[in-house]
């Protein structure tokens, strides 16, 4: 019998394509084990099979009432979308971008860390050099991915295609405020605003102006500005000079993949797509995609999705359970149970089982 203090959550899982189903089922197994050992919450996952198979059957990636359906849940756990035989812009806009923008999940938060027992691509963390520990904040609803633009004179030599980057005061102000608050909550209180206002003289200049305006409300946050090209160099050469990083939809899409690879692997990179107003359920997913090259082989690293699920629990208010899960992941990494992308020999199931066993051990000590 559950006590009155046990909280219950209803989560919708959308595993979708490629390695998505493999890593989402691993994350669900781990979260159910965590619920069992922590006894502080119960959680139910309902699966929705939107994705490329659904698209081939129904001619669309999601149900017509997609937003209404998703609003019935406390949170969304997502795998990845994309298949070799469907153009990527159809699959991405058909599923993930049909959720992020319309649900106003405007803050995409991507923590980046080198786990103990794993080696950063920059330096050997075992030798005591500074580890990577960044918080990447990506504007998630506008910028270069607004869907503004079009094509005309198709098939002619004078065919034209435009992709208009949209920057609004409202969109910039809310992500800057989110990023400054996030930086303020971390020990270093350090924020780097990524920009490209030398060549993009309208939208990116507004971006810089709003950053300056918002910074005045956060006098205890030290902040600086970096052009995106120079930022790549700083990430590689001076990783310890960075902490929280905020940038546009496109810039952070690219830099967060680089950050994950520098920290160890794309296979460990989590992301939270948040509606900070709490009006809509937030979506949690690994940064990586469908990974066609390893789909079905059982070797995908489940850590990115398991960490995303930990972030989901933290967002839902289960901070202690989140910390326990992060500790379990760290212990499993320290013990050397790693998939091939991190230099190990374990498969998806072995890593998942090791994390579940670690949760049992941690649970029995509390």
Ligand X SMILES: NC(=O)c1ccc[n+]([C@@H]2O[C@H](COP(=O)([O-])OP(=O)(O)OC[C@H]3O[C@@H](n4cnc5c(N)ncnc54)[C@H](O)[C@@H]3O)[C@@H](O)[C@H]2O)c1
Q: Which residues are catalytic?
A: 145, 196, 229, 253, 257
| Region binding ligand X by CB under 6 A among candidate stretches 150-158, 173-181, 291-299, 312-320 | 291-299
Give whichever of 281 and 289 is closer to ligand X, judged by the CB atom: 289
- SS3 sequence, the chain? CCCCCCEEEEEEEEEECCCHHHHHHHHHHHHHHHHHHHCCEEEEEEECCCCHHHHHHHCCCCCCCHHHHHCCCCEEEEEECCCCCCCHHHHHHHCCHHHHCCCCCCEEEEEEECCCCCCCCCCCHHHCCCCCEEEEEEECCCEEEEEEEEEECCCCCCCEEEEEEECCHHHHHHHHHHHHHHHHCCCCCEEEEEECCCCCCCHHHHHHHHHHHHHCCCCCCEEEEEEHHHHHHHHHHCHHHCCEEEECHHHHHHHHHHHHHHHCCHHHCEEEEECCCCCCCEEEEECCCCCCCCCCCCCCCCHHHHHHHHHHHHHHCCHHHHHHHHHHHHHHHHCCCCCHHHCCCCCHHHHHHHHHHHHHHHHHHC
| Contact with ligand X (CB under 6 A) among 75, 300, 338, 359 | 300
Please, which of residues 183-212 interact with ligand X by CB under 6 A?
none
Please, which of residues 249-288 interact with ligand X by CB under 6 A?
266-267, 285, 288
Give whichever of 29 and 173 is closer to ligand X, judged by the CB atom: 29
- Does 174 contact ligand X by CB under 6 A? no
| Axis-axis angle for helices 348-365, 319-334 (nearest 10) | 120
Please, which of residues 83-112 interact with ligand X by CB under 6 A?
88, 92, 96
Contact between residue 61 and residue 26 where contact means Cβ atoms under 8 Å apart:
no
Give whichever of 195 and 248 is closer to ligand X, judged by the CB atom: 248
Task: Provide the mask over 322-341, with x wherever binding to ligand X is found by CB under 6 A and - wherever it is not.
Answer: -------------------x
Give whichever of 23 and 37 is closer to ligand X, judged by the CB atom: 23
| Contact with ligand X (CB under 6 A) among 289, 311, 332, 338 | 289
Give whichever of 27 and 266 is closer to ligand X, judged by the CB atom: 266
Contact between residue 286 and residue 277 where contact means Cβ atoms under 8 Å apart:
no
| Contact with ligand X (CB under 6 A) among 13, 25, 52, 80 | 80
| Contact with ligand X (CB under 6 A) among 114, 140, 301, 331 | 301
Minimum CB separation of residue 257 from ligand X in Å reads 8
| Contact with ligand X (CB under 6 A) among 64, 68, 85, 293 | 293
Please give the Cα distance from 19 to 292 (Å, whole number): 8
| Contact with ligand X (CB under 6 A) among 24, 34, 262, 294 | 294
Please give the Cα distance from 134 to 263 (Å, whole number): 10
Give whichever of 51 and 203 is closer to ligand X, judged by the CB atom: 51
Minimum CB separation of residue 294 from ligand X in Å reads 5
Give whichever of 82 and 94 is closer to ligand X, judged by the CB atom: 82
Minimum CB separation of residue 92 from ligand X in Å reads 6
| Contact with ligand X (CB under 6 A) among 27, 75, 81, 328 | 81
Size of the site for ligand X (CB under 6 A): 22
Residues near ligand X, by CB under 6 A: 19, 23, 80-82, 88, 92, 96, 266-267, 285, 288-294, 300-301, 304, 341
């Amino acid at each position: 019998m559950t006590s009155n203090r046990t909280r219950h959550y209803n989560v919708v899982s959308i595993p979708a394509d490629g390695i998505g189903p493999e890593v989402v089922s691993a994350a669900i197994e781990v979260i159910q084990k965590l619920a069992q050992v922590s006894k502080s919450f119960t959680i139910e996952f309902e699966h929705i099979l939107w994705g490329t198979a659904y698209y081939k059957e129904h001619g669309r990636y999601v149900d017509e009432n997609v937003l209404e359906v998703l609003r019935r849940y406390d949170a969304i756990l997502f795998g990845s979308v994309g298949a070799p035989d469907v153009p990527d812009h159809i699959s991405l806009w058909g599923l993930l971008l049909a959720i992020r923008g319309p649900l106003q999940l405007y803050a995409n938060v991507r923590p980046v860390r080198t786990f103990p027992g794993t080696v950063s691509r920059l330096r050997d963390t075992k030798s005591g050099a500074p580890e990577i520990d960044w918080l990447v904040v990506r504007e998630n609803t506008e910028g270069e991915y607004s869907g503004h633009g079009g094509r005309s004179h198709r098939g002619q030599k004078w065919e034209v295609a435009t992709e208009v980057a949209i920057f609004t005061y409202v969109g910039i102000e809310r992500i800057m405020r989110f990023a400054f608050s996030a930086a303020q909550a971390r020990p270093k209180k350090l924020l780097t605003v990524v920009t490209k206002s030398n060549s993009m003289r309208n939208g990116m200049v507004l971006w810089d102006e709003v950053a300056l305006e918002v910074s005045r409300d956060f006098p205890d946050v030290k902040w600086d500005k970096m052009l995106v090209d120079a930022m790549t160099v700083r990430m590689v050469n001076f990783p310890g000079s960075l902490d929280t990083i905020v940038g546009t939809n496109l810039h952070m899409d690219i830099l967060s993949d680089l950050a994950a690879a520098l920290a160890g692997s794309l296979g460990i990179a989590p992301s939270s797509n948040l509606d900070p107003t709490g009006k809509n359920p937030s979506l949690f997913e690994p940064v990586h995609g469908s990974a066609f090259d390893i789909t079905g082989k059982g070797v995908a690293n489940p850590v990115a999705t398991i960490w995303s699920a930990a972030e989901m629990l933290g967002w839902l208010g289960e901070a202690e359970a989140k910390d326990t899960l992060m500790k379990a992941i760290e212990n499993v990494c320290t013990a050397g149970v790693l998939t091939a992308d991190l230099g190990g020999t374990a498969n998806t199931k072995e890593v998942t089982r090791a994390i579940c066993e670690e949760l049992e051990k941690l649970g029995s000590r509390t």
